[in-house]
Every structure is written in C-alpha cells, then in structure tokens.
Amino acid sequence: MRRLCSHLNLFCTTLFLCVLAFLAAPFLDPKGEAVHRLARFWATIYLKIAGVAVTFHGKQHIGQPPYILMSNHQSALDIMSLLKGLPISFRFVAKQELFKIPLFGWALKRAGYISLDRQNPRQALKDMDVAAKRIRDGSSLVIFPEGTRSLDGRLLPFKKGAFSLAMKAGVPIVPVAIRGTAVIQPEGCHVPARKGSVTIVAGEPIAVDGKGTSYKDALAEKVKTEIERLMAIDVSGEL
C-alpha cells in the first residue's frame, strides 16, 4: 500500500506542481527560485509519504555561495534527498533527455537547471559555458561527477567535464556524500522499496581559484578521496 501511495503521489504531485510552475513562474519568478522551492516542496512530500527521513551534516562548511557541490550517485532517490536536505539554494546539472519530458522538462528549464548533452561534444562545451556563467552570477550547482549511478556503492571514475566547469567558474567545490539511498531505493525501483533514513554529509570547500588546467586531474582525485572519506565517517564526531 505504501508503494502504491508513493507511485500515486509521484505522478499527481509532479503533474500538479509542473502545471503550477508553468502557469505562475513567468509572472512571479523571473530567476527560477520559486520553481526550485516548488521542487523542494515536491521532494518533501514524496519522502514523507515514502517514509524516508533525511538528515544533513556539515552545515558549518557551507558559508556564502556560490559553490559547485559534487556528490556520489547511488540511486534515483539521491535527487529527492538533496532537494530536501541541502540547506542552500542550488540548481542541478541534468542530462538533456529529462528536458524533453512534456511540462516536467519545461519546469526544469524554468527553475534554472542546466541541460547537458553528453552525445554532442560541441553542444556540451556550450552547455558548460552556460553553467559557468550561471555559477558566476551567483547560483550554486550540484553535479554527480561519476556521470551515472554506481551499482555497488563504490565511486566510479569521475568525468573530467565536471572539473573543467569548476576551473572555468572559479568557485570552490564542496564534496558531498549521500548514504542510505541505494538500500531504500535500489536500481530498478521507481519509488522507495522500503522506509529508511538517508544521511547527507558535506565536507570543507576545496578552492580552485588561481589553479591552472593542469591541476584538473589532481583536483578530481582530491575530491574523490574526500567524498570517500565522507561516505565512511562517523557523523557523530567532528567532520
């Protein structure tokens, strides 16, 4: 019954909030912030009905935005968890296919989320320029540097494009670890398979300003090492 309610909730609230964003945003929300708040509300309802609690640790590491927040990616539930748990306004970098979904794709665009065309390198470079400008204008972005979901919980190799964007934008990277989503909503499940708790842990910002492009590989390794540390750390202690 709970899973049925989750399916119905996902469909109904997504449709309702997309229509609301479509009707109201052009008049009330020129920067997309209200649409993003609707997305947070959507995630909160979804997680509540599914019986998923989200806790965030490391708020002391997030001061004045903008940032690029780089997170591990284990489940479709990661997106909802970040919307609910992160204490600052942000935008996602999402695959282009999501922007083609009627109404939903428009709402993503209206919220200021960034489309990334992975199949077209030339367009991907243009997308990166758009994202870098959005960051310099004050918007924090969330990126999954693995590029896809890990099936065993271990971090996959990081895509270099995320770090090219970081160097271009010149803002700090905040490493983020999500824990618990893969157990609650494993691969192949469209909604959470069980109740549970998700933990999000943010580490100290990693500066990139003033670094040359040759630093990109070292930066990727540094971020990966820190996310692995955050995935294993005892959050009852000091971060």
How large is the angle between the packed helices 216-232 and 161-169, nearest 10 degrees? 110
Least confident among 25-34, 64-73, 224-233? 25-34
pLDDT value, residue 22:
59
In sequence order, which residues have a C-beta less than 8 Å from that of residue 31 and are 6 or more positions away?
Answer: 112
Distance CA 86, CA 17 (A): 20
Nearest residue to 142 via CA among 118, 109, 166: 166
Q: For residue 235, give Cα distances in angstroms to 6, 51, 105, 186, 230.
A: 29, 22, 36, 23, 9
The stretch 83-94 carries a mean pLDDT of 89
Q: What is the pLDDT of residue 11?
A: 53
What pLDDT does 16 receive?
A: 53
Q: Of 20, 65, 62, which Cα lies nearest the Cα of 39?
A: 20
Q: How far apart are CA 110 and CA 31, in angstroms?
A: 8
- What pairs with residue 175 in β-bridges? 70
Computed over every residue of the chain, the mean pLDDT equals 82
The mean pLDDT value for 133-158 works out to 89
pLDDT digits (tens, 9 = 90+) for 5-58: 555 545 555 555 555 555 555 555 556 677 778 888 888 988 998 899 999 999
**Whole-angstrom distance, CA of residue 55 vs CA of residue 84:** 9
For residue 68, give the 3-state DSSP assignment. strand
pLDDT of residue 146: 92
Pair 219, 206: CB distance under 8 Å: yes
Q: For each of the domains in the chain, give its residue range(s) and CATH number, in order of start.
A: 2-232 (3.40.1130)
pTM assigned to the model: 0.84
**Which residue type is seen at 79?**
I
- For 149-208, the pLDDT digits (tens) are 998 889 999 988 889 888 888 899 999 999 999 999 998 888 888 999 999 999 999 998
Whether the bond between 205 and the residue before it is cis, its omega within 30 degrees of 0, is no
- Cα 150 to Cα 42, 57, 73, 75, 162: the distances in Å are 25, 22, 6, 8, 17
Tokens of 171: 């803002």
The pLDDT value given to residue 234: 86
